[in-house]
């Protein structure tokens, strides 16, 4: 199937804007925000001309009103962060079901009733998940029984909810000896440490919630919940000191050595002497921070969300970090040939055009506030795109109020260009969490965004110019049923797309289900799994535009939605 391209002669490209500025054309300094100077960052005042880059602009159609979803993330100070959504299939039909955190209001669960390729339809159901004070949620099959469980982050006690089947859940803190604490939890990730038969959970906690009048410097401890020996429950939590008001966490094999370390993105608004963090989390050892002696370089941002993808194709994950004003895109500074890289990251957000530091349209030129970030190939051209949810914390005067969400399309040269407006997802509501997920199983990724004090919104991807695709579910026997920590490799033409199977990151929002890859003009792909224990599955030639279930030790099985 050919992939038609649209030219966008009137499109305003921030990336071109930057490049023109860098060529010395007339520019104007952008902004002071409080005492913080956006050093070196300028915005071009000129109108723009046609960009020769070609990329298929996707089309999204908002279906909030007809979808059946009606959920608002409510609450005052303690809900200024959070606002997560979780997507997972809890009734075995392959269609992702939806959980929306409600903040001060009860959370809501919706069963996905969409027809394949049809309009997005959801039905509110009582699931047992309807707790209040929920900030975010991550699906995770904690007990490996093949039935999805859900970790609820809350203001107050966190709760692990055990899946019972058919989208019913029950509290399992006692059963699994999980200490939910009493903090203000805002970040989560999970991994299976080597040899473990039970997951390790990291929970990030924010400000001391008793200190509303003077919160600065009151960041509370993040917790690491490790297995209790072989008992298939959690040991008492270990504190991760120091903690700096985490708003996103991600276990990730950044070095490709099989070591799944913990990245933590922290909000400088409230920490004292903090920075971004990377923890060694190695079996049998206490967690330990990577140090400057090891090469780690301090970075201080208003860290809100983490998204991982191997953007530059070097086989190592890159990390988008959302913030206020400039967002980051970190990549390894150097990779020793045949050696283990040092944890030295450099930023490539500017070069790649993903700083996304202010609204790309409208008249509000104050800096942006970024939250959930997710790499996803929304036009199926084989190049992962980047969605960023945007929204003011709460009418902060130094930051944009009309702050449209970003949809940054990756071009063939690895740079990105903004297409939120052209694609129709440029909502200026006060967004927080999100999920870029194929809700109607037509191979095109749809979009769900939660908003503070406003209705969550959902868009169907109605593109007619998208490329081929493949969606894959990965399972193995044993406790780590969904092969968390493994990698999926999809080869199309001469390019191998590599993707780590992670749980965590984003902003208070997690997804479990089909791993989606765009294939561009290739109607087929070679696919293999690198399992969490490091063993490689066999390459298999699979057809595009369809679904496969890969069970370890068996050939990939074609799956067709009903």
Residues that bind Ca ion (CB under 5 A): 89, 91, 93, 95, 97, 112, 141, 143, 145, 147, 149, 163, 377, 379, 381, 383, 385, 438, 440, 442, 444, 446, 461
- Residue 546: is it exposed, middle or buried by C-beta count within 10 angstroms (0-12/13-18/19+)? middle
Looking at the DSSP assignment, which residues form a beta bridge with residue 346? 331
Nearer to Ca ion by Cβ, of 112 and 185: the residue is 112
> Nearest to residue 483, comparing CAs of 522, 528, 533?
533
CB of 407 to Ca ion, least distance (A): 10
CB of 547 to Ca ion, least distance (A): 12
Neighbours of 458 (CB within 10 A): 25
Neighbours of 102 (CB within 10 A): 24
Are the C-beta atoms of 120 and 63 separated by less than 8 Å?
yes
Nearer to Ca ion by Cβ, of 380 and 428: the residue is 380
Nearer to Ca ion by Cβ, of 112 and 266: the residue is 112
The whole-angstrom distance between residue 89's C-alpha and the CA centroid of its chain comes to 18
Whole-number Å distance between alpha carbons of 67 and 372:
22
Nearer to Ca ion by Cβ, of 18 and 459: the residue is 459
Nearer to Ca ion by Cβ, of 10 and 116: the residue is 116
Nearer to Ca ion by Cβ, of 379 and 476: the residue is 379
CA angle 205, 139, 208 (to 5 degrees): 10
CB of 269 to Ca ion, least distance (A): 33
CB of 146 to Ca ion, least distance (A): 7
Are the C-beta atoms of 502 and 250 separated by less than 8 Å?
yes
Nearer to Ca ion by Cβ, of 130 and 269: the residue is 130
Integer-rounded Cα radius of gyration of the chain: 22
CB of 335 to Ca ion, least distance (A): 25
Nearer to Ca ion by Cβ, of 66 and 257: the residue is 66
User: What backbone torsions phi and psi does residue 77 show, to the nearest 5 degrees?
Assistant: -50, -45
- For residue 86, how many C-alpha atoms fall within 13 Å in the half-sphere facing its CB? 31
Nearer to Ca ion by Cβ, of 341 and 467: the residue is 467
Neighbours of 384 (CB within 10 A): 22
CB of 379 to Ca ion, least distance (A): 5
CB of 438 to Ca ion, least distance (A): 4
How many residues are given for the chain?
A: 562
> Nearest to residue 448, comparing CAs of 493, 393, 503, 387?
387
Reading the block at residue 7, the tokens are 């030219």
Rounded to a whole number of angstroms, the distance between the first and last alpha carbons of the chain is 24
| Exposed e or buried b per residue across 321-336, where buried means at least 16 C-beta atoms within 10 angstroms of its C-beta | bbbbbbbbbbbbeebe
CB of 100 to Ca ion, least distance (A): 15
CA angle 258, 261, 264 (to 5 degrees): 155
CB of 377 to Ca ion, least distance (A): 4
């Amino acid at each position: 199937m050919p992939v038609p391209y649209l030219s966008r002669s009137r499109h305003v490209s921030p990336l071109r804007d930057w490049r023109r500025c860098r060529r010395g054309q007339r520019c104007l300094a952008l902004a002071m925000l409080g005492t913080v100077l956006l050093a070196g960052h300028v915005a071009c005042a000129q109108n723009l001309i046609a960009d020769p880059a070609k990329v298929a602009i996707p089309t999204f159609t908002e279906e909030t009103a007809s979808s059946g979803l009606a959920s608002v993330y409510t609450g005052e100070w303690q809900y200024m962060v959070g606002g997560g959504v979780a997507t997972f299939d809890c009734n075995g039909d392959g269609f992702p079901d939806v959980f929306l955190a409600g903040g001060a209001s009860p959370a809501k669960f919706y069963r996905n009733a969409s027809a394949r390729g049809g309009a997005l339809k959801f039905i509110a159901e009582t699931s047992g998940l309807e707790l209040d004070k929920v900030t975010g949620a991550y699906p995770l099959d904690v007990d490996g029984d093949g039935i999805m469980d859900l970790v609820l982050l809350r203001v107050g006690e966190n709760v692990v909810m055990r899946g019972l089947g058919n989208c019913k859940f029950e509290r399992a803190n006692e059963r699994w000896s999980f200490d939910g604490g009493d903090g203000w939890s805002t970040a989560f990730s999970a991994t299976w440490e080597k040899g473990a038969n039970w997951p390790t959970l990291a929970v990030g906690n924010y400000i001391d919630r008793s200190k509303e009048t003077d919160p600065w410097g009151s960041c509370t401890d993040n917790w690491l919940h490790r297995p209790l020996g072989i008992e298939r429950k959690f040991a008492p939590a270990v504190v991760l000191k120091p903690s700096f008001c985490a708003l996103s966490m991600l276990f990730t094999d950044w070095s490709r050595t099989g070591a799944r370390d913990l990245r933590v993105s922290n909000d400088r608004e409230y920490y004292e002497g903090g920075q971004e963090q990377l923890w060694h989390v190695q079996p049998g050892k206490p967690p330990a921070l990577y140090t400057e002696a090891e090469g780690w370089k301090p970075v201080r941002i208003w860290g809100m969300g983490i998204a991982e993808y191997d953007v530059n194709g070097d086989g190592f994950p890159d990390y988008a970090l959302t913030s206020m004003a400039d967002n980051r895109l970190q990549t390894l500074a150097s990779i020793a040939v045949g050696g283990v890289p040092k944890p030295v990251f450099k930023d490539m957000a500017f070069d790649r055009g993903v700083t996304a530091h202010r609204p790309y349209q409208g008249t509000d030129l104050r800096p942006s506030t970024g939250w959930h970030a997710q790499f996803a190939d929304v036009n199926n051209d084989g190049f992962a795109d980047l969605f960023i949810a945007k929204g003011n914390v709460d009418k902060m005067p130094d930051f944009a109020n009309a702050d449209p969400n970003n949809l940054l399309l990756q071009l063939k040269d690895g740079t990105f260009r903004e297409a939120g407006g052209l694609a129709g997802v440029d909502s200026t509501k006060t967004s927080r969490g999100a999920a870029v997920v194929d809700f109607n199983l037509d191979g095109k990724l749809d979009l769900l965004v939660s908003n503070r004090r406003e209705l969550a919104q959902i868009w169907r991807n109605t593109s007619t110019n998208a490329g081929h695709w493949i969606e894959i579910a990965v399972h193995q026997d044993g406790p780590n049923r969904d092969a968390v920590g493994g990698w999926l490799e999809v080869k199309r033409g001469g390019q191998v797309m590599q993707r780590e199977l992670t749980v965590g990151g984003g902003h208070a929002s997690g997804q479990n289900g089909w791993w989606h890859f765009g294939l561009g003009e290739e109607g087929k792909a070679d696919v293999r799994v690198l399992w969490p224990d490091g063993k490689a599955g066999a390459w298999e030639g699979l057809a595009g535009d369809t679904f496969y279930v890969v069970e370890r030790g068996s050939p990939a099985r074609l799956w067709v939605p009903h």
